[in-house]
Structure 1
Amino acid sequence: VYYVSNRVKTIDEAEARVLEAAPEARVGVAHGKMSAKQVEDMMMKFQRGDIDVLVATTIIESGIDNPHTNTLIIEDSQRLGLAQLYQLKGRVGRGRTQAYAYFMFPGERPLTPEATERLTAINEFQELGSGMRVAMRDLEIRGAGSLMGAEQHGNLSSVGFDLFTQMLGQAVAEARGDAADDLAQSEVNINLPADFYLAEEYLPEVDRRVLVYRKLACAMELAEVDALQHECEESFGSLPQAACNLFDRTRIRIRAQRLGVSSVSIANGRIIFQGLKCSRELTLKLKEQRALVYPKTEKVAYPLRRDEAGAVAQALSVLELAGGDDDPEE
């Protein structure tokens, strides 16, 4: 039996409680303030079966493999994180014997909402291979879900999800020694006044939401975006406006990369396309729509109409006009 008490200063009291409950048990203690030799000796005794109950801190959460151990008891489990609880649970059930894990918490004090969610999650995900689902729930409980929603924080708020993902990919490529020039050249900065996210009410499962975000961030073909949108609509119904904007933003990014556009933004009531090379025919079409075309700087300033289409739809229509209505890769 593992008995986890994660406070070194009160671990002797925990040992006394175990001995009071089971006087016949052979009890040992292991914690981080013991020397490495002492901890090793105690673990060897436990592995040989010289100790029945090991009272320990979370020092046992990794690197311990005792197939004969089949019971885990954690006191004050509401103090531990979900990942810690899941890791500790993996210390038992490593052999052929049925294993049991008990997560104890004080009944006289109310649990915080976060602690309740953690304990509910550890109780819910009991089947094999639940690590990914536990990790996603842990992120959701700690607030990472809001990074993908309307409320964003930190670097993600500053640059947006698409650009953040591209920057991260570029950093990984540089760390691996790959050529990062192509990544930098294809980077598109999209700064349009609209919401770009999948609402929790539309797609409740955080792991599914993150999967959609990842697929959109990695999409390089318009057909991929169309197929993913169709899949979402088939499974969850019509897209809300913020989700439509999210998919159209990916279409803008793909078309802009093909046309060599480096940025799409709003300034002085116009949509500014930087790096858009215009043929004579395209220039005439844009000027008919009261756009300003600057051939030397490869800049187009398109008038932002105040209608129901919105800035995202208008920006996409301009890029469709510049690149043709058909996807050249299809």
Structure 2
Amino acid sequence: QHLRTFNRRMQDFPIRIESLSRFRSSAEQKKVVADIVVGKVEIAIGTHRLVSKDVKFKDLGLLVIDEEQRFGVSVKEKLKELRATVDVLTLTATPIPRTLQFSLMGVRDLSIIQTPPQNRQPIDTKIHVYNPQVIQRAIAGELARNGQVFFIHNRVQDIEEMAAKVQDEVPSAHIRVAHGQMKPAQLQKIVADFYRGKFDILVSTNIVENGIDIANANTMIINRADRFGLAELHQLRGRVGRSDRKGYCLLLTPPLNRISRDARKRLMALEEFSDLGSGFNIAMRDLDIRGAGNILGAEQSGYINDLGYEMYMRILEDAVRELNEEQGVASKEAPRRPEIEASVDVDVLALLEESYVVDSIERFNLYRRLSQAVTEAEIEEWERELRDRFGSLPESARNLSAAARMKLCASDAGLVHVAVRGNKMILHCPDKESEAGKAFYEEGGFEKLLSKLEVAVTSQFKVEKEKKRVKFVVMGVENLDDALKKLQSLIQDKPTLTPIEQ
């Protein structure tokens, strides 16, 4: 299918395109491999046969991995080893947790295509307990509009028996069976006949999950949907509704009280996220259910609940930075994050409201970028982007930006927490017995802060001691901007704060 599309699009250019997979004879494969080695083939389209030892590329420049979730870590690493300087573009409707985590932490660039092709409609997704009458109604409805049906049954052992049951429900329908244990030529012929509309219902395993593009097939029935992964279900559902016709997906399960909690979560997520372009939402839910995986190892999912997300990310960032420093690799991060990362608590609304940034994923990305800002310039750039894309900053967004600046100032001053309550600003120093606290007190951080308070803060302040911590309470704080100015004045060699633009 890819080969056909590429040949059509490149027909006016002097480019040779070849495919390499088990669907080609040994002699054909041998000739294609030989031509790839000497550089006679400009574009090679293939399965993981392309990572076999006998395939050597003369001058590989771009590697495109389609349906990334179908490849294991070891295969993907082999693909990247084809050449150290190769550019890699990964395509998937539902990235696996490990890949998604790479993107969220900034190791890989992420682009999301949310705009569907013209005239596409969302797929109507329903969960049903297995019932022959439900199956009959769904198939009859599709055949009545001269369409075709996928019926997914993922057990080769009794797939013929299931096909017979389906035939009993719709005696007039023409049914064929397909699965991965068939000979390649036989399987290819069945799929080609279905593509040409020679029969009505294809009963198959999940072998049709990727790549099959049949515009006339717009109903999919998945038997024992509770046994499939979330990404797998989304990919299967994506085989229907690929034209301007409405698509339907029926998820058949045992009674919900007899399936696992995670299986229920997967099914509910698929039913909830049925809009076009919802693959990223599904991937985020999959990350939540399965965990992020081993970023530096081979596991593609795994739990991080024992550590907590923030702590896990901090440990991960530190580990990556240390490995880069050991190997002399320049870090992509500009300035290093302060060793103390202060928290800020304000008593005003500080957020991006839904009326300002409507899309929830976009809000998530903007929050993430702001939380990772380690310089004033990065916060200013974040504000400029908001104004450019969404218009003037409302008060809640300006408050959020001010809180982010306060966090930077407090971290630079060695403080662990800042709270603004009413007309007071409370500055919390680190615990004396912590590593950060020892450095803060022994290297003169406390004395510097105290002297700056005496000079820079004209309003009244007091020092309070709580067990192992000391805190400064600054009075006469008019608002959040005033609190920020006072806090900024405590940081030596910092420029005067410019007002936050609307």
Q: Shorter-chain TM-score: what band?
A: 0.5 to 0.7
Q: In structure 2, what residue type is equivalent to 1:234?
A: S
Residue 28 (structure 1) shift: 1.6
Give distance in 2, aligned partners of 1:13 and 1:319. 78
Aligned to 1:190: 339
Which structure has more helix as a fraction of its residues? 1
Cα distance per residue 1:262-284 (max 9 Å; x no partner): xx98663563569xx99xxx997
Tell me, what secondary structure is at the counterpart of 1:34?
coil
Give distance in 2, aligned partners of 1:329 and 1:35. 71
Cα distance change of structure 1 residues 103 and 317 upon mapping to structure 2, 3 Å threshold: same
Q: Map residues 25-174 of structure 1 onto 2, 5 A cutoff.
A: 25-107=173-255, 109-143=257-291, 151=305, 153=307, 157=311, 160=314, 164=316
Matched, 1:180 2:350: no
Cα distance change of structure 1 residues 12 and 142 upon mapping to structure 2, 3 Å threshold: same
Give distance in 1, aligned partners of 2:306 and 2:490. 30
Matched, 1:268 2:422: no
Cα distance change of structure 1 residues 44 and 141 upon mapping to structure 2, 3 Å threshold: same
Using the size of structure 1 for normalisation, the TM-score is 0.62
Tell me, what secondary structure is at the counterpart of 1:101?
strand
Give distance in 2, aligned partners of 1:134 and 1:100. 18
Using the size of structure 2 for normalisation, the TM-score is 0.43
Cα distance change of structure 1 residues 220 and 318 upon mapping to structure 2, 3 Å threshold: closer
Cα distance per residue 1:53-78 (max 9 Å; x no partner): 11111111111101111110001112
Asked whether the equivalents of residues 225 and 251 of structure 1 are also in contact (C-alpha less than 8 Å), the reply is no
Q: In structure 1, what residue type is equivalent to 2:369?
A: R
Tell me, what secondary structure is at the counterpart of 2:258?
coil
Q: In structure 1, what residue type is equivalent to 2:494?
A: G
Residue 195 (structure 1) shift: 11
Structure 1 ranges of 4+ moved more than 6 A: 166-171, 192-196, 224-228, 244-247, 253-256, 264-267
Give the count of matched residue pairs.
279
Cα distance per residue 1:95-121 (max 9 Å; x no partner): 233322111112385333333332222
Tell me, what secondary structure is at the counterpart of 1:321?
coil
Give distance in 2, aligned partners of 1:306 and 1:255. 13
Tell me, what secondary structure is at the counterpart of 1:190?
coil
Cα distance per residue 1:208-241 (max 9 Å; x no partner): 446412332156425568999xx89838xx99xx
Give distance in 1, aligned partners of 2:211 and 2:366. 31
Cα distance change of structure 1 residues 225 and 92 upon mapping to structure 2, 3 Å threshold: closer
Matched, 1:305 2:467: no
Matched, 1:322 2:471: no
Tell me, what secondary structure is at the counterpart of 1:93?
coil
Cα distance change of structure 1 residues 13 and 136 upon mapping to structure 2, 3 Å threshold: same
Q: In structure 2, what residue type is equivalent to 1:271?
A: G
Cα RMSD between the aligned structures? 5.1
Aligned to 1:234: 396
Tell me, what secondary structure is at the counterpart of 1:157?
helix
Tell me, what secondary structure is at the counterpart of 1:24?
coil
Contiguous gaps of at least 5 residues in structure 1: 145-149, 197-201, 257-263, 290-302
Cα distance per residue 1:247-269 (max 9 Å; x no partner): 8555556889xxxxxxx986635
Contiguous gaps of at least 5 residues in structure 2: 1-148, 293-303, 346-350, 354-358, 387-392, 415-428, 453-467, 475-482
Aligned to 1:292: none
Q: Map residues 196-215 of structure 1 onto 2, 5 A cutoff.
A: 207=361, 208-209=363-364, 211-215=366-370
Asked whether the equivalents of residues 136 and 206 of structure 1 are also in contact (C-alpha less than 8 Å), the reply is no
Residue 139 (structure 1) shift: 2.4
Give distance in 1, aligned partners of 2:197 and 2:186. 17
Cα distance change of structure 1 residues 43 and 253 upon mapping to structure 2, 3 Å threshold: farther
Give distance in 2, aligned partners of 1:110 and 1:232. 49
What fraction of aligned residue pairs are identical, expressed as a percent? 29
